[in-house]
Amino acid sequence: MVDISDVLEEEFARNEIPVDQDKIRQILKANRGARIRTWLSICSRCGLCAESCFVYLANDRDPQLSPAYKVKQTLGKMYRRKGRLSRDFFENCYKIAWLQCTMCKRCSVFCPFGIDVATMIAIVRSVCYSQGFKPHSLYEFSENCRKSGNHMAIPKEELIDTCEWMAEEAEDDYRGVAIPVDRRDVKYMYTINPREPVYYPQDISYAGIILSAAGESWTIPSFGWDCTNLPMFCGDRELAGRQVKNVYEKAEELNAENILITECGHAYRSMVFEGPYMAGYDSGHPPVKVVHFVRLLYEYLRDGRIKIDPAKKIKEPVTYQDPCNVSRNGGLWEEARRIIPYLAEDFRDMSPNRDHNHCCGGGGGIMPMGPKYKPVRMASGRVKADQIRATGAKIVIAPCHNCFDQINDLGEEYDLGIKVLSLKEIIVEAMIVPDHMKPEAHE
């Protein structure tokens, strides 16, 4: 692995909390269900998972980076030593849990017993968090959630202003685009990644244009709009549960039929699969149906609610990044492949792809851990860079903010000569503007 010991030294120096064995034992006990006990005891050390892990592949097949070894050195030792653990032990756990595993779940697809390493690494992160070992940047974003309900502490008024501004911008080219806030009784309550209002406000405008063109009944909530969940990656399950609950409760308050998730992978995983448990819904299901934007776009194109101008289809070779939490963990890999023929003439799938695709290297929270960790992301991302290069594609479609930024960085690092685009952007560029949205002709 690339050496970033100076960064780690700085992280660890922030933590002055002494190891609290009772707390460790409490968390371990709470998680010692049949599933975890079985997984820890049945691993046969067959090594089949090693070749599935991009971190292992990208780092000279170092045996210490095989999924089974990572669990053995962390959660396995936590249970074996019954919580009697030193600071040195936690420093090693930190490296494994945040630098060597993005919790992409690819290895569990290959394990003959279906052992879910990512779930066990999530417990490791929770124990580390309880002992003050957590990436500072993830912690700061998480604390913003505690104070404001969103990761970037964006005040309500600012979000509303951004929505109004983006609707006005869109109005220059598309008549009647509305970005309604807090409308009740809608079909979709649209939730976004806080990077959108801060860095990519045009993404909100693209969504407004598409949803208006489709004649959709929708709204953005003024609170509970942030569908992302960095507390989940930081190891703070309680706060992670609060974060999803904000969204569920707002959807119930507005009487929205569905919660719509922007092009973000981990938000979907959090809202659909992990959120209900973290928020205390024993059924394991969210109280309001959750739909990812990839699914909705597929339906719009299929049903002719959005029409694409064939002359505007992309001519250059295109590939598609299956975000782990949209495809493998979200089940939407076929929908994506049904969308692409509408948009591109020369599609070249990566190999492997769909639910077997590799993580881009920016997942699991390492992207928002900040630039100091970029060397780790770039080294582990070599597998993704090789996959993209092999397709010969000049455009990479990435329906996830993390993948988008990571692949942009990989493009520069590995000189891939690519452009990364979101589905929304491509669709807005290529769609046939419906008559009701054509700008008024001026004399």
Q: What residues line the site for ligand SF4 (CB under 6 A)?
A: 43-49, 52-53, 55, 67-68, 70, 101-107, 111, 113, 115, 117-118, 359
165, 202 in Cβ contact below 8 A?
no
Q: Which residues of 308-318 are buried (b: 16+ CB within 10 A; e: fewer)?
A: beeeebbeebb
Residue 44: other Cβ atoms inside 10 A: 11
Q: How far is the CB of 48 from ligand SF4 (least distance, A)?
A: 4
Select from 103, 40, 26 the least CA-distant residue to 73. 40
> Per the structure block, which two tokens stand in for 427?
């669709």
Please count the other Cβ atoms lying within 10 Å of the Cβ belonging to residue 186: 21
Taking the complex as a whole, how short is the minimal distance between the CB of residue 83 and ligand SF4, in angstroms? Answer: 23
Residues in the chain: 443
Q: Cα–Cα distances in Å, from 4 out to 95, 364, 373?
A: 10, 18, 8
At closest approach, how far in Å is the CB of 250 from ligand SF4? 31
DSSP H or E segment with residue 109: helix 106-110
How far apart are CB 339 and ligand SF4 at their closest, in Å?
26
> Which residues touch 41 (CB under 8 Å, ≥6 apart)?
none
Nearby residues of 193 by Cβ (< 8 Å), 6 or more positions away: 226, 227, 228, 262, 264, 267, 401
- Contact between 328 and 105 under an 8 Å Cβ cutoff? The reply is yes
Taking the least distance from each CB to ligand SF4, the nearer of 45 and 147 is 45
User: What is the DSSP secondary structure assignment for residue 101, as one 8-state letter?
Assistant: -
Choice between 138 and 211, CB closer to ligand SF4: 138
Considering the complex, state which of residue 36 and residue 198 has its C-beta at the smaller distance from ligand SF4.
36
Smallest distance from ligand SF4 to CB 41, Å: 11
Ordered DSSP codes for 26-81: HHHHHH--HHHHHHHHH-----TTGGG-HHHHHTTT-GGGSHHHHHIIIIIHHHHT
Minimum CB separation of residue 121 from ligand SF4 in Å reads 6
We find the least distance from the C-beta atom of residue 119 to ligand SF4, in angstroms, to be 9
Which is nearer to ligand SF4, 68 or 209 (by Cβ)? Answer: 68
Which residues, at least 6 apart from 443, have a Cβ–Cβ distance to it below 8 Å? Answer: none
Our CB check for ligand SF4 shows the closer of 55 and 318 to be 55
CB of 265 to ligand SF4, least distance (A): 13
Closest contact distance (angstroms) between CB of 352 and ligand SF4 is 12
- Of 369 and 418, the one with the shorter C-beta distance to ligand SF4 is 369
Q: How far is the CB of 114 from ligand SF4 (least distance, A)?
A: 8
CB contact at 8 A, 10 and 94 = no
Closer of 212 and 402 to ligand SF4 (Cβ)? 402
* Beta partners for residue 289, in sequence order: 258
Closest distance to ligand SF4 from the beta carbon of 56 (Å)? 7
Nearer to ligand SF4, 118 or 260 (CB): 118
3-state class percentages of the chain: helix first, strand second, coil last, to nearest 5: 55, 5, 40
The smaller minimum CB distance to ligand SF4, of residues 57 and 178, is found at 57
Closest CA to 227 of 193, 277, 278, 273: 193
Copy the structure tokens of residue 211: 């949803």
CB nearer to ligand SF4: pick between 121 and 145: 121
Nearer to ligand SF4, 359 or 398 (CB): 359
